[in-house]
Structures are given as structure tokens and as C-alpha cells.
Amino acid sequence: MASSSDVSSSAENTPENPESGSVERRGRVRLRRAAVMAVPATLAAAGLAVLTAQGALGVQFAISGMPFVVTADKLEGDGFAQFGSLDHMIEDSPNQGDTGGQVLVVTSVVKSGKLTNLCQSVDLGGIQLVLTAGNKGTKVGVENLAIDSDEITGNADFNNIEIGRDASTFDKVGTRGLPGVYGQQADKVVITDLYQHNYAATAAVFKLPDLRMSFDSKGCSK
């Protein structure tokens, strides 16, 4: 992790621009870039170690900055990897708040998987857009799924897990991190009572049987 002296040094070396008022903003962004060296991933039963990243990007598009929740009774995956990432919003995004337009996340990758009783919701400002699928006997199917989250909980079981492997050398999924990035991968993963607070997701295939979308006062919950 970056020391306090490193952070203060970066702030002192930030060029001033009184007219634009950019000193505070640039200092905050640099602080968040230093903080990416300590991204936590919480999987309740797994007791996962701290994941770190050095600017690795989980997605290749500008995120909206509006988080969404995903829950599932069960996730079963063949080929699993996880590493820290840094997502970016567009410049001057109305959703950036005090983040400087950057969000620290953990990227979780599943090569091929099934989800039982999937629920996804996003808060649109007092009303929730809710999507459900895979709740009538046919599971949701995914391939090359990558999700960027800042909170994950559940009960997890891994087969042949490798913790602390360099993310650029992953060979169990189709996605790799940057050289020197701390990561972990496993042959298989099963997570029950899954909850994710996410900022982005990509998938090569996303099959949603019994899909239903609606507006509701309540979103998906743990």
C-alpha cells in the first residue's frame, strides 16, 4: 500500500490552477489511485485475502456510475478468476460524487456458469427497475461473464484454487489482469446466497429463461 508520505508527496506535486479549481480534484483522484493497492473482496465463507490492482481495468467502457444489485440462490461456475480493478466514468459524470470518476472494484470472471433464481435491480431515483430470471426450473446460463463489484457476500466453495497468482498468468478463464496484479483462480466455484453490489458486467453469452422486468418500490435484497 502507498504510505502517507507517498500520498502527501503526490498532492504537493500537483500543479495548481486557480481558475479551474482543479487542485483538490486531482489530489483526490491520485489518492484513489493509490488506494487501489488495497481493494477488499468479501466472500463470507471463503475468507478471501485482500486483492490489489495497479490500474487494471475490469471493463473497456465508461461506466454510468449508477450501481446495480445482483442476487442469486446459487451460482455454479466452471473456470473462475478474481482480481482488483479500477473502473472509470465519463469526464464530469453527474454520478461521480466525490469519487473523481473512478470506482475501486473486484472483477470476478466465470468462464461458464449457471445461476438459480437471478434477481437484478437498479435504483432509478426512488423507483427500482427489477429483472428476474431462472426461477421456474431452468437456470440462467452465462459464458465469459465478468462482473465488477465493490461488495460481494455469500457462501463459497472452490475446487483447486490458487491464491496470490499473478493475474497476467491466468489460464482457467479467458480474461487476464496486468502483470504484477495479485489474483486468484479456481477450476470450479459454487456460491450460495450470492449478493453483489456492482458497477459493470460483460458476458459473451447471457441466457435468461423466464425473464421478467418490472418497476417496484423494492429492489433485490440479501
- pLDDT (average), residues 150-174: 95
Q: What percent of the chain has pLDDT over 90?
A: 65
Please state the pTM of the whole predicted model.
Answer: 0.74
Is the pLDDT at 12 greater than 80? The verdict is no
DSSP per residue over 186-219, as a string? EEEEEEEEEEEEEEEEE-SEEE-TT-EEEEESS-
Indicate the pLDDT class of residue 84, thresholds 50, 70 and 90: confident
Indicate the pLDDT class of residue 59, thresholds 50, 70 and 90: low
- pLDDT (average), residues 72-77: 98
Is the pLDDT at 33 greater than 50? The verdict is no
Is the pLDDT at 165 greater than 60? The verdict is yes
Separation CA 159–CA 167 (nearest Å): 18
For residue 200 the three cell numbers come to 459493470
Indicate the pLDDT class of residue 222, thresholds 50, 70 and 90: confident
pLDDT for res 175: 87
Which of 204, 214, 207, 222 shows the shortest CA–CA distance to 151?
222
Report whether 41 contacts 182 (CB < 8 A). Answer: no
Is the pLDDT at 50 greater than 80? The verdict is no
Is the pLDDT at 2 greater than 50? The verdict is no
Helix (H, G, I), strand (E, B) or coil at 11: helix
- pLDDT (average), residues 15-36: 44
Is the pLDDT at 201 greater than 50? The verdict is yes
Separation CA 8–CA 139 (nearest Å): 51
Report whether 209 contacts 114 (CB < 8 A). Answer: no
C-alpha distances (whole Å) from 54 to each of 51, 130, 187 are: 11, 34, 25
